[in-house]
Chains A and B, each alone.
Chain A
Amino acid sequence: MGGFALLSWILFLPCAGGLLLLFVRDGDEAGRRRVRLVAFAFSLATFALSLALYAGFRAGTAQMQFVEAASWMPQLGIAYKVGVDGLSLPLLLLTTFLTPIAILFSWEDVARRVRLYHVALLFLETGMIGVFVALDFFLFYVFWEAMLIPMYLIIGVWGGPRRIYAAVKFFLYTMAGSVLMLIAILWLYFAQGGQTFDILAHLDRPPDPALQGWLFAAFALSFAIKVPMFPFHTWLPDAHVEAPTAGSVILAGVLLKMGTYGFMRLAMPLFPSAARDFAPLILVLAVIGIIYGALMAMVQDDVKKLVAYSSVSHLGFVMLGLFSFNLLGASGGVLQMVNHGVSTGALFLIVGMLYSRRHTRLIADYGGIARVAPALSAFFVLTTLSSIGLPGLNGFVGEFTILAGAFQRSPGFAAVGAAGVVLSAIYMLWMLQRVLFGSRISQASQGLPDLSAREWAVLVPMAALMFWIGLYPKPLLQKIEPSAQAWLAQVGRRVLRVEAPVLGLPSGLPLGRGPASRRAPAAWAERLREGGRP
């Protein structure tokens, strides 16, 4: 790696840009332009650096790469430690890819308080990257929470009419979940001897199974709210609908992935036996989320709300994949995280473009857009097809792999999940038909301008990514797969009783004594290994 701390540069470059922006005046139009240019330049530079990271990332190993460590609070064994592996790399790229797009989109969309907006966006980027690369519990938690503030401002200052309600709800929901995780982290730390907050060290040494139930529950609650899983999803439609378009893109594209990433990086491998005990419950919630989200999306008359509920449904697929405990499900899950970020992000962008033209989000107000704005409509169709998983586009690869994985575990869940795919085709295509086609074209939609050059610049990279992942996902999958395999070994392993002092804890949750824990762990691992490789 040499002397160049690439990962730290990626992590803190946006933050530095945000700090720099504090000294750029935005009083007049030239100043606002300057603010946008600086923000865009910094986010683009970050993306360029992350491409260099991608190029330098060695495929074929599950090791953490680009690891950097420095002492931070040695008294408690807290360190600044970052690194990427195949699980975090795609999400890191997604983050650095979406941020310049969001800034570019906001060029004309955000006209008020321009400086504060871009400062928040850049700080947010650092926070999101931090969550994906942190290898220390304390560091992870710092980024996890710190990222709430800029997002809260973005929703609350530049959002729609009910923005304050949505922003506060978003903040309180997420915070309520994550503080319990904080206690669980402390608990884990002291139960394991109080030596280190290093995530990798804890992954190597899962705690006593009696402890795992409670700790898993605390972590899972925090992540489930973020995903969001049914029934913790109620903040999502509010936040999505009220957030400005770029906020929705980031929210759907990256923030929700933090929840699934948390399950994958922390909750499941740290507490493997508890994860297996909880798996039936989580799988049930996941498929409920898939179906419920789809049904809710079907009855919305607001496009943005429809897309928001579709997120609940799509993220249910990711959870279904992760908790299938096999390689197909896991790598499908990672891929689906990226896919959802791309296609739902693009959907929000297009909805934002429609909104900026017509200032309404009601489906009924549209109709016949395809005739006045063909390019916009073409992108809309493409994105919709990607979202519902048409072969050849990105969505298909992820969903198919997940369903194959789920089928290996339990055909029942796979069948319900497949029903979700059908439902998603119904609500998305129906929406498309009502917005783009139809003979009636309302007075206000006459002479609607088609895509501007800036909007082309926003949508073309998104579309390119959809095709790339859909047609040639191999390079990406090659980098994901070793890590997914190693992950599988971690969640599938049997847990020895550890001799660390166990604090005076209440006995495990009733769930902790479920049938799975009685099953011989070795047989479990065996079965996983068989099922893991098709």
Chain B
Amino acid sequence: MTIAFPQFHWAYLLPVILVVAGAVFILLWDAFFPQRERSFLVTLALAVLASALGASLAAQPGSEAASMGGMYLYDGFTRFVFALILLSSFLSVLLAAAQRSLDEAPAGDYLGLILFATSGMMLMAATRSLLMVFVGLEIFSLSLYVLAGFLRGQPEGNEAALKYFLLGSFASGFLLYGMALIFGAAGSVDLMEIAQRLTTHPPSRSPAFLLGLGFVVVGLGFKVAAAPFYMWTPDVYEGSPTAVTAFMSVGPKVAAFAAFFRILLAVGPRAGAELDAILWVMAVLTMTAGNVSAIWQSNIKRMLAYSSIAHAGYILVALAAVRRGSDLATGSFLFYMLVYALMNMGAFCVVVAAGARGGERTRIEDYAGLGYTRPALAAAMALFMVSLAGIPPTGGFVAKFYLFGAAVKAGFVWLPVIAVLNSVVSVYYYLRLVVLMYMHEPGEAPARPSLGPGWSYALAALLLAAVGVLNFGIFPSSFFELALRSTLLLN
């Protein structure tokens, strides 16, 4: 018996290889030369991510030869998602370098973990095989469990890590069990083969398949923090170091949504209308729960946690539209994720930068009068809040416009209506921060200790995010075109 080895295409694998190699190198370097400057490792990590981004942009997705037997799939969708993941890792590394409370932590460890997590996300997004989805998910989940509790001295960090780990493993179990059931019912872990099998054997006669699909939805729903599986989010986001929270709010969502997309596109059209209803209800519940809960928060990280839940709800709208075959849905999903990555990480970046003089500002009241004590920082925060709320002329508005357009095109009536009403609710809590920053007087004159050494990193991240958000609000066309053309390779 001979085993047919799939052909390897190094150009397509290069981005992942670069990230993994960089992670290993950084870990080892730190182990052997612990006395070196931290800035060296940070620069190295940034260079690795940038070169991986360059490599993935250079690799032209083309023929199906890129599929490598379905385990690794490099299509236009993968390329865009890689760019997204690498962008969010890039920003996270900048944030980690800027965060004061991470100054004393071993840099090699957390930078290496961020890179490992990045590689896991990339693998999860770039595959047609359910097994690979799981492997990628576990790689980034395990790295994130450690990162969540990285500040060992803080009890909140420990709580966050433990909670994330316990609930996350539980969800992984669901996912794996679901995949096993699908494998049992369809006889393959390859999405293409599963889809073919479903065409000949309709799933309505296979309860195992439907149950399996349901479990997969649960597992992925946990990772993207969709209702009703979002309960862990605020605690974990609050307890983790802010740079890690920023990373968690974007990277895993991109990867898990990408996998969700592939699964839905392959099996969705044949899985029956129940899936429609499930996605509809999930989207509505997620955005409503996120927005309504965010109103009551007094901690900015918790508020942003609930806000990210709400955004997951909006993205689920795109998923529902993709299920219905709206050709606008994939492009608008990718564009939304791009803008979301920038604005959400930008907001966390302000949180890090506001604590750059020591002492994290995590209570919302800490931001009172910021518009007059630190005008540029407050202006950036206001920009990100306005964008998150979806008000023009920011990227957040354009992204929502495309997304809801896709939903309307798919024939949904109430879903986009509920979504826009939700964004009115969200305006209330996003603007609360603006109210505090501009309409309240600053508290006691703040002591002004010197800025930390990482200040320039925070500034770079802030500039990148702010320019991006404004640019996508005013000149979104070229990137939207790119997103629209980043189609999935189905077979």
Q: Which residues of A come within 8 Å of B, CB atoms?
A: 72-76, 113, 116, 138, 141-143, 145-146, 148-149, 152-153, 156-157, 163-164, 167-168, 171-172, 175-176, 179-180, 182-183, 186-187, 189-190, 194, 503-506
Contact = CB atoms under 8 A, between A and B. Distances in A.
A232 B411 CA distance: 30
A138 B421 CA distance: 19
A276 to B, nearest CB: 25
Contacts of B397: 142, 145
A183 B427 contact: no
Interface string B219-251: 000000000000000000000000000000000
B453 interface: no
A183 B391 contact: no
Contacts of A145: 391-392, 397
B435 A190 contact: no
A183 B411 contact: no
Interface string B420-441: 1101100110010001001100
Contacts of A180: 417, 420
A142 B424 contact: no
A143 B473 CA distance: 12
B476 A73 contact: yes
A75 B405 CA distance: 13
B421 A156 contact: no
B256 interface: no
Contacts of A176: 421, 424
A152 B428 CA distance: 12
Nearest to B382: A149
Nearest to B408: A186
Contacts of A141: 392
Interface stretch (B12-20, B47-55, B168-176, B477-485): B477-485
Given A172-B424, A186-B416, A194-B409, A156 B435 contact: yes
B224 to A, nearest CB: 24
B148 interface: no
B413 interface: yes
Given A146-B392, A175-B427, A505-B413, A190 B408 contact: yes
Given A183-B420, A190-B409, A75 B392 contact: no
Nearest to B477: A73
A156 B431 CA distance: 11
A504 B413 contact: yes
A42 to B, nearest CB: 19
A157 B435 CA distance: 8
Given A156-B438, A156-B439, A182-B420, 20 more contacts: A75-B480, A113-B372, A116-B438, A141-B392, A142-B397, A143-B392, A145-B391, A146-B393, A157-B438, A164-B435, A167-B439, A175-B424, A175-B427, A176-B421, A182-B401, A182-B404, A189-B405, A190-B405, A503-B408, A504-B413
Contacts of B316: none
Contacts of A182: 401, 404, 420
Given A157-B439, A182-B420, A149 B428 contact: no
B439 A179 contact: no
Q: Most chain-A Cβ atoms within 10 A of its Cβ — which of B392, B393, B481?
A: B392
A60 to B, nearest CB: 36
Interface in B459-485: 476-477, 480-481, 484
7 contacts: A113-B372, A148-B391, A157-B439, A163-B439, A167-B435, A186-B401, A506-B413
A143 B392 CA distance: 8
A163 B439 CA distance: 9
A182 B480 CA distance: 19
A141 B401 CA distance: 11
B411 A503 contact: yes
Contacts of B484: 75
B386 interface: yes
Contacts of A152: 431
A503 B273 CA distance: 19
B431 A186 contact: no
Contacts of A175: 391, 424, 427
B392 A183 contact: no
Say what secondary structure dominates the interface of chain A: helix
A508 to B, nearest CB: 14
B480 A73 contact: yes
Given A152-B431, A172-B424, A183-B417, A142 B439 contact: no
Contacts of A148: 391
A310 to B, nearest CB: 28
B481 A75 contact: yes
A370 to B, nearest CB: 38
B395 to A, nearest CB: 12
Contacts of A138: 401
B408 A183 contact: yes
Nearest to B428: A172
Contacts of B477: 72-75
B179 to A, nearest CB: 35
Contact of A149 (B386, B401, B408, B480): B386
Contacts of A189: 405
B438 A504 contact: no
A181 to B, nearest CB: 10
Given A75-B484, A138-B401, A179-B424, A504 B411 contact: yes
A146 B470 CA distance: 13
A248 to B, nearest CB: 18
A403 to B, nearest CB: 38
Contacts of A503: 408, 411, 413
A503 B411 CA distance: 6
Contacts of B416: 183, 186
B111 to A, nearest CB: 36
B439 A149 contact: no
B431 A168 contact: yes
Contacts of B401: 138, 182, 186
A292 B435 CA distance: 33
Contact of B438 (A153, A168, A183): A153
Contact of B421 (A179, A505, A506): A179
Contacts of B481: 75
A504 B407 CA distance: 13
A168 B409 contact: no
Contacts of A168: 428, 431, 435
Nearest to A181: B420
Nearest to A214: B413
A271 B78 CA distance: 44
A171 B408 contact: no
Interface in B127-149: none
A190 B401 CA distance: 13
A171 B392 contact: no
Interface string B380-404: 0000001000011100010001001
A348 B6 CA distance: 78
Contacts of B438: 116, 153, 156-157
A281 to B, nearest CB: 22
A22 to B, nearest CB: 9
Contact of B420 (A146, A157, A179, A504): A179
B450 to A, nearest CB: 23
A120 to B, nearest CB: 10
Q: Closest 9 CB pairs between A and B?
A: A179-B420, A142-B392, A186-B408, A156-B439, A73-B477, A146-B392, A176-B424, A186-B405, A504-B411
B65 to A, nearest CB: 29
B367 to A, nearest CB: 15
Contacts of A179: 420-421, 423-424
Q: Most chain-A Cβ atoms within 10 A of its Cβ — which of B371, B413, B484?
A: B413
A183 B422 CA distance: 13
B277 to A, nearest CB: 16
B439 A164 contact: yes
Interface string B74-113: 0000000000000000000000000000000000000000
B147 to A, nearest CB: 36
Nearest to B414: A506
Contacts of B408: 183, 186-187, 190, 503
